[in-house]
């Protein structure tokens, strides 16, 4: 099971946080600080896979990848394969790139609802739903279309005595 997906910048500022097991806000911040401490102290020529039992408890693993100034981090248990998680991370980043034409940190900050929708199309409740970035892009485009349609249709409630003047 996937336990968390975190995107943070190279200064440790979280840009996307999604925990699939309940954590208090304080605990989330503590976990993110711990993860950042581990990531920023690692050499560039080492593996992107880390056992994080000391941070998340027994059986916890982490895979990360750096894209430009962002760390993409997936935390999961032994029921998931590390290489599959790295591939899933690639699907997530590719989908973001397709939706935002070369995604950057500001895209994630200013479009957090869309980014969460993209992630929810790929992972829901800690389980992988979709591994095709083109299918995720289609689903997100359909959601955006529905949002535009519903926001353009404005229903005026029936108010006795009101005639729109």
Closest by Cα among 114, 140, 142, 144 to 129: 140
The topology (CATH level 3) of 2-152 is: Beta-Lactamase (3.30.450)
| Cβ(119)–Cβ(20) below 8 Å | no
pLDDT of residue 154: 53
State the distance between the two ends of the chain, measured CA to CA, in whole angstroms. Answer: 57
Q: How far apart are CA 12 and CA 31, in angstroms?
A: 11
Question: Whats the size of the chain, residue-wise?
Answer: 165
Per the DSSP assignment, residues forming a β-bridge with 70 are: 9, 67
What is residue 66's three-state secondary structure? Answer: strand
pLDDT of residue 151: 64
- Give the DSSP letter of residue 156: P
pLDDT of residue 9: 94
pLDDT of residue 125: 93
pLDDT of residue 162: 55
pLDDT of residue 156: 52
- Delimit the domains of the chain by residue range: 2-152
* pTM, full prediction: 0.84
Q: Can you give the pLDDT of all 165 residues of the chain as single tens digits?
A: 999 999 999 999 999 999 999 989 999 999 999 999 999 888 888 888 988 888 888 888 999 999 888 999 999 998 999 999 999 999 999 999 999 988 889 999 999 999 999 999 999 999 999 999 999 999 988 988 887 777 655 555 555 655 554
Q: What are the angstrom distances between the C-alpha of 115 and each of 28, 126, 140, 154?
A: 19, 16, 10, 26
pLDDT of residue 47: 86
| Cβ(38)–Cβ(114) below 8 Å | no
């Amino acid at each position: 099971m996937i336990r968390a997906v975190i995107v943070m910048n190279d200064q440790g500022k979280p840009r996307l946080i999604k925990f699939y097991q309940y954590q208090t806000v304080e605990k989330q911040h503590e976990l993110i600080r711990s993860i950042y401490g581990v990531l920023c102290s690692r050499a560039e020529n080492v593996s992107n896979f880390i056992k994080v039992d000391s941070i998340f408890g027994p059986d916890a693993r982490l895979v990360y990848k750096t894209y430009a100034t962002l760390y993409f981090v997936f935390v999961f248990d032994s029921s998931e394969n590390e290489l599959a998680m790295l591939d899933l991370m690639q699907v997530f980043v590719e989908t973001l790139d397709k939706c935002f034409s070369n995604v950057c940190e500001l895209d994630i900050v200013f479009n957090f609802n869309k980014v969460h929708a993209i992630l929810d199309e790929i992972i829901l409740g800690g389980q992988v739903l979709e591994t095709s970035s083109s299918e995720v892009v289609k689903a997100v485009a359909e959601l955006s279309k529905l949002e535009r349609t519903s926001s353009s249709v404005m229903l005026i409630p029936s108010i006795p005595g009101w005639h729109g003047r």
